[in-house]
Amino acid sequence: MLDAHFALQDQKLLGDLSQLEVFVNGSFCRAEDAKISVWDHGLLYGDGIFEGIRAYQGGVFKLNAHLERLFESAKAIGMTLPYGLKELSEVVLETLKRNQLQDAHVRVLVTRGIGKPGVSPVSCVQPGLVIMAYPFPPLLGEKPARLITSSVQRKAPHSVDARVKSLNYLDNVLAKLQAICAGMDDAIMLDSTGCIAETTGANVFAVIRGSIHTPTLTAALPGITRHTVIQLAKEEGYSVTERPMTLGDLYVADEVFLTGTATEIAVVGEIDGRKIGEEKAGPVTSKLIRIYQDLVISGPDVTRIV
């Protein structure tokens, strides 16, 4: 019998995370008691979408923007959500409240729902919905990140459009695994033309002679942090250029940093064995980090949990 191989309990693996209250298809339950159908196409085919959101000191940063992107992802994959943005945002806030979380990462997952076997989504009549919130430190830690370039290509726009934050992250997972096997923190993924797309979970920025450059969105998720950072950099008087970028642009940059909700603003210290900057946040990155940290706590786009 295979039982022994499955003896590892949620509790052992996840500790306190298994005790959190999660919202699953209409009601709250403990994470360890949550049930998802084995016929859900989200599980069978990775057919679904998600959002990653952050709360800071009792307020959710850019909640509406994240939920709007979720609705756009749904539309792009031909899925109609049977609820509105306001209802969804209420459940997000309720999830944080029930778990008494002031600082957390929130994951909103929408699956294609239960359906007959076979990739056709036609028999899936009701999308599944899972919302969970949990403590989550910055994804890449505090030290400057060491990156490699992955041989796994970001396939957008030939495959799934990069604007769709889909439940199918296998390309990114494999790229991350390459980085881990190489003893690095993360990987840069290139698009089909060899230009920089993004990392496995964040957008890329370079500071070159005082100006800020970031790859266009052909093969990169339109990150909400990316958009925020572009806006605040412009307000600070920096020139920001969105253009196709090569690895060479990054190798010779004065500063490179990554942006993402889970990642926040992460300093890059090394790419493919080349040292970047002074192995600590450069002047431009430091300034943007400071302003961003204020903005996520007390800016105009914060929804209080109350």
* Pairing between β-strand 203-208 and β-strand 211-214 as defined by DSSP bridges: antiparallel
Q: Which one of residues 196, 225, 232, 284 is an interface residue with ligand PLP (CB under 6 A)? A: 225
Q: Which residues are within 8 A (CB) of 205 and not within 5 positions of it... i.e. 6 or more apart?
A: 212, 213, 214, 226, 229, 256, 257, 258, 259
Contact segment (CB under 6 A) with ligand PLP among 28-36, 120-128, 200-208, 245-253 equals: 200-208
- Cα Rg of the chain, angstroms: 20
Position among 202, 265, 281, 295 found at the interface with ligand PLP (CB under 6 A): 202
Q: Which of 155, 165, 176, 287 is catalytic?
A: 165
Cβ-based nearer residue to ligand PLP, 58 or 138: 138
Binding range to ligand PLP, per CB under 6 A, among 74-82, 116-124, 219-227, 243-251: 219-227
For the CB of residue 106, give the shortest distance to ligand PLP in the complex, in Å: 11
The answer to whether the Cα torsion of 198, 219, 302, 241 is positive or negative is: positive
Q: How many CB atoms lie within 10 A of CB 137?
A: 11
Establish whether 165 is a catalytic residue: yes
Three-state DSSP at 119 gives coil
Instruction: Label the pairing between strands 104-111 and 48-56.
Output: antiparallel
Helix and strand tally (H, E) in the chain?
8, 16
Q: Which is nearer to ligand PLP, 44 or 139 (CB)?
A: 139
Please, which residue, 164 or 184, has the CB nearer to ligand PLP?
164
Q: Is 203 in the site for ligand PLP (CB under 6 A)?
A: yes
Give one word for 57, left, alpha or beta, with left for phi > 0 and alpha for psi -120 to 50. Answer: left
Measure the CA–CA gap between 188 and 247, rounded to whole angstroms.
9
Q: Which stretch binds ligand PLP (CB under 6 A): 80-88, 128-136, 194-202, 286-294?
A: 194-202
Q: Which of residues 18-57 bind ligand PLP (CB under 6 A)?
A: 52
Least spacing, CB of residue 154 vs ligand PLP, in Å: 8
Question: Rounded to whole angstroms, how far apart are CA atoms 220 and 200?
Answer: 10
In the complex, which residues of this chain contact ligand PLP (CB under 6 A)? Answer: 52, 172, 198, 201-203, 221, 223-226, 259-262
| Residues recognised as catalytic | 165
